[in-house]
A and B are shown apart, each in its own frame.
Chain A
Amino acid sequence: MMDERSYLQPESGRKLGLGGIKFSDAQSRLVFRPVGGLAALSRILAAFAGKRINLHQLVFRKIPVGGVELYLARNAYLQNRSLIDGELDSHGLAPAEVAEPVGTLTLFPHASSMEVLLKVIGIAVGSGLPVHSMCSSLSALCIATDAERLDELAGALLEVFSLPDGHSPFRYEQSDLDRRLTGGQGRIVETIARYWEQVIRIYGSSLKTGLTGVSVSADGDRLLEVIGELADCRIARFLMVELTGTESGRYSLQLIFDPEHQHGAAAALSFGLERIDNIEYYVWKGLELLFFHGPHFQDRYGVMHTAVAALSEASVEISSAICSGTGVHLVAKEEAGRHMLDVLGEVFVVP
């Protein structure tokens, strides 16, 4: 096995190029663990959608430990906390953890490159900085850490990645139009997704089947060994990733890729993971991944709630879900994908 850290270094001094990095404003991180299935998730999401509070990011997972993790603007949470808590309490739900302020660093585009992904995970986890979560959207990887550590995390990543000259600033800078429309305060909202419409407009969706997924639970050092095994398998592209850090110092990673062009990768990966002590892992075959995206601007008033409520009502089982960037990824077991697509086709439309 190659040295588990060598893949983190720029090859021959050449850094991998990215398009940009963005920092979020201060956020609150709410963790519900354990949590039941989609019905429980639907009730959680209803508490926010009902108050028209955007979620910046959301992860739902059933294995290895069922849980929901969501991120929202800190101000929005603080202003509505008693209402949200009351709503959740009425359903017997309460977050196991509320961490604030956190911030998310978004880097893009990842180009579905496993090389980029593994370097990002390795640097983030290996940096010693808190990594609360990471998940992927169509173009970006979004990493949550403590709000005051964003610059440090960016610095660690820029040891291995480069940005173009004149790249967008990390923190939001108002344009003239923004200043005119907001009187210099805040940001204009591109409210195009109107969720009081019966059917929500999205850009498009795709369903992929026959996929391979790996779920791993490990501490930081073992996770870096797992990253090394993934690098050894030379899987070129990933479809979806989510990583969650827990207060005990363990990480839970879920990664999905298409084995069609990676013959033998699943077997090689299982063989490699078998050799690592003190980790729990599963390698899944035949997974189905439904992806859709639209002008959500981070779950504008309940895209995830709409999707989850519809799926829950139709008794569709999903094993995990991510809402990040302007997209939603839903993972299900074999032959459930078409049912997901049919159900969601009743509540979303491509214009």
Chain B
Amino acid sequence: MKLAFWKSALGSPAGRALLALLLVIMAGAIFNADGAFFKIGTHRDTLRQTSVYGILACGMTLVIISGGIDLAVGSVLALAAVCASKMAIHWNWPAWEVVPGCLAVGTACGALSGIVTAGLRVQPFIATLSMMVFARGIAKYASGGMKVSTVVQNADGSYRNVEVPPLFRAIDHSIFHGNVSVVTVIFLVCVAIAWVALSKHRWGRYLYAIGGNEEAARLSGVPVVGAKICAYVASGIFAAVAGICQAAQEQQGDPEAGVGYELLAIAMVVIGGTSLMGGRGGIGLTLIGVLTIGYLDKILSINAVPEAGRLVLTGIIIVAAVLTQRRGRT
């Protein structure tokens, strides 16, 4: 009976993804760096450091389930970070104007990607690659190629230091006696929103249908173009949220931020067990994937493994995780 339980648990993608996470955490318990792994602060930091990637992975999950890919999220994050800093630091906008403003920027980027790929039928890889370059350019244009920080130039050419805006301080803060970061809470809210969209709303069902068999979906009356555009818009919005968080944590808007983040977000989605071919997967799996990569990186860093080794090991582990996922499917 026990065997049957394990068999069925490992037969599902969620079971296999959880097993991978469990192995990583066990490794952490063994190589605990003199008890550092058992401190609550370690876990708080792990979650804080992976939250920005996790938010990107939420949007990426929606797009990948619909059979697409979004390479632009890292650039959109940088653009949103620059915009947020510009609005909050330079222009002194209040939070209730900064946040909708940045989300509008993300929406516009996502809508453009979506229209080009779903409406004009450019391959998603190409369409979002273009958006990746385009958004990076806009970010540099908006920031003048420099970091938008609290050091502000006066009219006479001298510099002054302005106060960190309250929005940034609120986000880069910990609650529950300092045990949980606000960005982690934002990440979990994003997961919840994506979960509701995927499993409680008609649109989620449409995304699965399009990713599983686009032609069958179209012939069943699914509004394929609209549903796909919405997926890219959602990805753009999540990227903007991640950008605001990034700006708050760094207290500046760096137009060079987020380079390569899109690949990490894709890796997190895939490690969870969502199929890159579309049609299969879920946001719960992505949550597991985010935690797996986050903890893996943390455990390697508390054990003082140099960055070179960390990258090599992470690469190997991503392939291993995906191979296990594939074996289970056939």
A and B from one complex: no
Q: Which residues of A contact B (CB under 8 A)?
A: none
Q: Which residues of B contact A (CB under 8 A)?
A: none
